[in-house]
Structure 1
Amino acid sequence: MANRWLSLQVACVYIGTVVGAGFASGQEIYQFFVQFGPVAYLSIVLVTALFAWLGYRLMALGAMLKATSFRDLNAHLYTGALRKIIDAILLFMLFGVTVAMLAGTGALFKEQLHLSFSLGVLTAVVATFVTMLFGMNGLLKVNSVIVPTLILFVFYTAFHTWWGAHTGTGHWPLPSPVHLGAQVWLSALLYGAMNIALSAGVLVPLGGQIGQLKVLKRGAIFGAIGLGAMLVAVSFALFCYLPDALAYAMPMAFIASHFAHWLSWLFIAVLFGEIYSTLIGNVYALAATAAISRRQMLIGSLVLLIIAGALSHFGFKIIVAYAYTGFGWVSLFLILILVLHRTHLPRA
């Protein structure tokens, strides 16, 4: 029973690391899936399989190497100058997504709460730094609460949208052209590669800390299924509210505004919580890589958050549209090396 609960916690950390501002807001899902039409549902199946397979591989390698950061895995996969280059690229990508998460919080405060963008960024910075005081245990506990709540809200959003269309108070998705070319599948691969590579900073040391392959395997499978189901639910809701939802940096928050008033507010709180959980994972991965002592880790976290907070004012939509696609291409190269490397994992 204890192992099953630990597997669920692993799944929640996996989901919480992937589901950040871009995913939970709907902006990222539109860019990589929904814009191609209903074929998005098929490409989500491909991504779900990638999440299960490569998520487990990352955690299992972390367990095998007794890793404390993703740099331990890089030292195993790469040699010489290439290892240093890969380290630098992953650190830059993690920092870039941290900037995006803070920009997402600012957009949420501005669009939905009609408060200052900077106030949203500052709130996320303070909440993340406080949680860093508790290390990996803080990450596990935060995701064990936030992720199940977000899953419930995502499925409620899809059900509410379907029910409105079914009863005539909403509308079904508008007809859209179906794209079947290579771009659809390439986009899905880029999405999967980016999120798996960016999750390495959390999944590798998580595997090293837990060490039980059966627990990690179940956690990877549960996490992947949860992510795939959420991708389908968010995609359906977006299809139903296009093109109006695209006018907002946070399309899912716009959709939630069609709910009962208190549910709309609760959704905003959950969305903030999910952005916050991804922030914790990213900052933990960055700080754990460079720090030697706990004190250095906390000081490094604060400096990173301040710099990222300043850069977040470039805007959320711009960061997701351009930076995430670039990160996807780099991640695809990293994932290919992970897949092709001749490392035989122990049987789980």
Structure 2
Amino acid sequence: MLKRILNISLAYVGVVIGAGLSSGQDLMQYFVSFGKWGIIGTIVLGIISVVFGKIIITLGSYYRSNDHFEVLSQIAGPITNKILDIALIISCFVVGFVMIAGAGSNLNQQFGLPFWAGGLICAALVILVSFLDFDKITSVLGIFTPLVFVMIIIIAFYTFIGKSFDFEELEAISATIPSPMPNVWVSLLNYFALTAMTGVSMAFVLGGSIMRIGVAEKSGLLGGFVVSIIITVATCILYANVKLVSTVDIPMLAIAEQIHPVFSLVYALTIFGLIFNTAFSLFYALAKRFSSDKPKRFYPILIGAVVIGYGLSFMGFKSLVSVMYPLLGYIGFLMLFILAIAWVKERSNIKGEKHLRRKMIQLITKKYDDNQEYTKGDREEFHQLGEDSIVDTQSIKSDIKDLVKEKFNDNTR
């Protein structure tokens, strides 16, 4: 269970932090531009991130969603549902090609690789990895999260240990950084709404892969907590180094280059991995949305979207962040409001479903455990609980049986 929690939470972090956070570009525009108040803003953002991390992953698990539409159709009215569905489709595609642009900028800044080549490598990887099964995909999404966490801590030690700072100078330089937001409070809300818009589609899919709602809750909390730490520490690093990084496309990479060439190389590859994480998650979720009724359409849709996204990525990473991110963030306000209302309304039902599934697992475990007797009464109760579940009866019964059988097979190996 612990392994499952870690896998999902790390995958969630990989989906959310993406190119902008790990590169530092969106943090520069959203937080560093407001100086010390921007750092305070990231702390508030961290609290919001933990709360909504739990809400999003748990709702995905509760409804056992394969795409965002399955959740939205349950928690929003027809008109609102349609608006959010269209907004999420647009955000998946737009931020997807922004990530491809980020890949081009990243490899260009570190290796001098032509912009088109870096984006092409990222686009090709998105298509290739989509052919793996979902458990392997989840593992891939979580690979780079521990790396970036450790590397940001290393950069933090390099930045702050034994050094002093002229805060008046830092404030003055920070004030010269253009921000798309009027103040830090609108900025932090817009930024989190943006992360919700870009991450919620794949987060629902991640949550939908979890049968145990308790596991989903813990995964969301842990994922949101890790995101909050990375955002706050990275913003502090960028603020302290603002004189160095105020004009570059990939600010964190510029700082890494000051530490050691090898460290810079590893960090560049890690950023690329996180860019890929987000790009893949967005295009994957987009293709899932349009192929839910016809699975055979999944790969043609995904490949077509990636190819078009690659072409649009030539608009440039930094300019795309400054224009597209705020717009999507404002649309995301509606998403956060709907999610919060759904959580309040469904809390008791989620709690009931959580106990229902736990009981179903306990009952069917008897069937596969030689030391327990699986009675006719147990079978009837198992079926009745399946009838009472929010999920389709045959689906929930089959999935729980598979979960328990897998557990017993693992124990006998």
Taking structure 2 as the reference length, the TM-score comes to 0.78
RMSD (CA atoms):
2.0
Aligned position for 1:261: 261
Report percent identity of matched pairs: 22
Aligned position for 2:114: 116
After superposition, residues 196-345 of structure 1 pair within 5 angstroms as: 196-291=196-291, 292-341=293-342, 343-345=345-347
- Which structure has more relative contact order (CA 8 Å, sep 6+)? It is 1
Q: Which amino acid aligns with 2:321?
A: V
Provide structure 1 residue ranges, at least 5 long, that are not aligned to the other structure.
none
Aligned position for 1:97: 95
CA distance in 2, matches of 1:46, 1:279: 27
Q: Which amino acid aligns with 1:312?
A: S
1:98/1:308 contact within 8 Å kept? yes
Aligned position for 1:61: 59
Aligned position for 1:156: 154
Aligned position for 2:3: 5
Equivalent residues, number: 341
Distance 1:172 1:233, change over 3 A: farther
Q: How far did residue 144 of structure 1 move? A: 2.8
After superposition, residues 21-170 of structure 1 pair within 5 angstroms as: 21-163=19-161, 166=162
- 1:54-93 superposed Cα distances (whole Å, 9 cap, x missing partner): 2211222222222111001111123334422321111001
Larger Rg: 2
1:19 aligns with 2:17: yes
Provide structure 2 residue ranges, at least 5 long, that are not aligned to the other structure.
176-180, 355-413
CA distance in 2, matches of 1:343, 1:136: 31
After superposition, residues 166-181 of structure 1 pair within 5 angstroms as: 166=162, 174-176=169-171
Q: How far did residue 139 of structure 1 move? A: 2.8
2:32/2:238 contact within 8 Å kept? yes
Q: How far did residue 167 of structure 1 move? A: 5.3
Distance 1:82 1:287, change over 3 A: same
1:13/1:139 contact within 8 Å kept? no
Q: Which amino acid aligns with 2:34?
A: F
Taking structure 1 as the reference length, the TM-score comes to 0.92
2:104/2:114 contact within 8 Å kept? yes
2:7/2:138 contact within 8 Å kept? yes
Q: What SS does the corresponding residue of 1:249 show, helix, strand or coil?
A: coil
CA distance in 2, matches of 1:230, 1:82: 33
CA distance in 1, matches of 2:195, 2:19: 13
1:131/1:138 contact within 8 Å kept? no
